[in-house]
Amino acid sequence: MERFVDVPGGRLFVVDEGDGPPVVLVHAGIVDLRSWDAFVPPLVAAGFRAVRYDARSWGRSTTEEIGYSNRADLVAILDALGIGRAALVGNSRGGQIAFDTAIEFPDRVVAVIGVGAGLGGFGGHPTQEEIALFEEMDRLEEAEPRDAEAIIAIDTRVWVDGPGQPPGRAPAWIAGQVRATNVFLAEPGHVFGRPIVLDPPAAARLADLRCPVLAIAGALDVSDVAQTARHLAAEAPDARAVVLPDVAHMIGMERPAELSAMAAEFLEPLRPWT
């Protein structure tokens, strides 16, 4: 089922498939909900309801130029679909949104699976080479006008293939989705709105992250992603970390069947929830 959910100052495009305990999927910042296309079928086959959506200003979702909360948007989707509690699976930026939502709305979240996930307020210890890449990414994102081709190239190098990996290591269709998303976001006049961050940030509130957490990182990803996963495992009340070999940041796109099996195994003991 496809539908739009109205939120203050915007509309969110939502795809709802399957039956069973609901699992909400939150995409990374360099792609939209289509990044979960290969992940959803095995998750639904395992007996879960998969709900995915485009964040504001991504894909088919829209926003006015206002301040808004990604956490409140996610809860608005739960309310619109009649979901009391859900497990959250978030990739990269989507993982940070998932952790933040679990902290702000603990009664609505059964568990969180972070996939190459960020954690607000936690910076890790990137290498000097990674710091240089991050600085270049920030410069390109802040430049006016945006150089879409340069952004696509560095996003593909870092997040698709992995820093230091040969070009084209990951399947070409992943880079194609990253390209399409970046071109769309770089369109003149594209409205992003102003996300309101969780304050204090999640890293300072891990004692409030009471639900079970599975933090998954790729060994070919930037180093602070695995550091984030291990930090969660060490500091959150109920968390464990897994680092997968031979995969970078977009694990749900590179290894959808494997990731779906891991998610189903992790969530199975928590059944039932609604």
pLDDT of residue 62: 98
pLDDT of residue 148: 82
pLDDT of residue 43: 98
Give the CATH number, domain containing residue 197. 3.40.50.1820
pLDDT of residue 32: 98
pLDDT class of 210 with cuts at 50, 70, 90: very high
pLDDT of residue 49: 98
Between strands 62-63 and 10-17, the pairing is antiparallel
- 9 and 134 in contact (C-beta within 8 Å)? no
Range(s) of the domain holding residue 179: 128-185
pLDDT of residue 237: 97
166 and 261 co-located in one domain: no
pLDDT class of 193 with cuts at 50, 70, 90: very high
115 and 137 co-located in one domain: no
Length of the chain: 274
Of 185, 208, 228, which residue sits at a domain end? Answer: 185
Of 185, 209, 233, which residue sits at a domain end? Answer: 185
pLDDT of residue 147: 84
Reported for 181-186, long-range contacts at CB under 8 A and 24+ positions apart, including other chains, are 181/30, 181/31, 181/32, 181/58, 182/30, 182/148, 182/151, 182/152, 182/155, 183/148, 183/152, 185/57, 185/58, 185/146, 186/146, 186/148, 186/151
119 and 216 co-located in one domain: yes
The structure tokens 């081709």 sit at 149
pLDDT of residue 263: 98
pLDDT single digits (tens) 30-61:
999 999 999 999 999 999 999 999 999 999 99
Judged against a pLDDT cut of 90, whether residue 266 lies above it is answered with yes
Judged against a pLDDT cut of 90, whether residue 179 lies above it is answered with yes
pLDDT of residue 124: 87
Helix (H, G, I), strand (E, B) or coil at 109: strand
61 and 76 co-located in one domain: yes
Rounded to an integer, the average pLDDT of 77-98 is 98
55 and 143 co-located in one domain: no
pLDDT single digits (tens) 94-146:
999 999 999 999 999 999 999 999 999 998 899 999 999 999 999 998 888 77
Of 168, 185, 202, which residue sits at a domain end? Answer: 185
40 and 95 co-located in one domain: yes
255 and 154 co-located in one domain: no
Angle of CA points 20, 208, 269, to nearest 5°: 30
Segment (H or E) for 3: strand 2-7
pLDDT of residue 64: 98
102 and 132 co-located in one domain: no
pLDDT of residue 5: 98
Question: Domains in the chain: how many in total?
Answer: 2
Whole-angstrom Cα distance, residue 250 to residue 258?
A: 13
47 and 179 co-located in one domain: no
pLDDT of residue 24: 99
Against a cut of 0.85, is the pTM above it?
Answer: yes
82 and 209 co-located in one domain: yes
First to last CA, the chain: 18
- Average confidence score pLDDT of the chain: 96
User: CB-based contacts of 212: which residues, under 8 Å, 6+ apart?
Assistant: 110, 111, 112, 238, 239, 266, 270
pLDDT class of 251 with cuts at 50, 70, 90: very high
Tokens of 274: 């609604």
144 and 110 co-located in one domain: no
pLDDT of residue 230: 98
102 and 22 co-located in one domain: yes
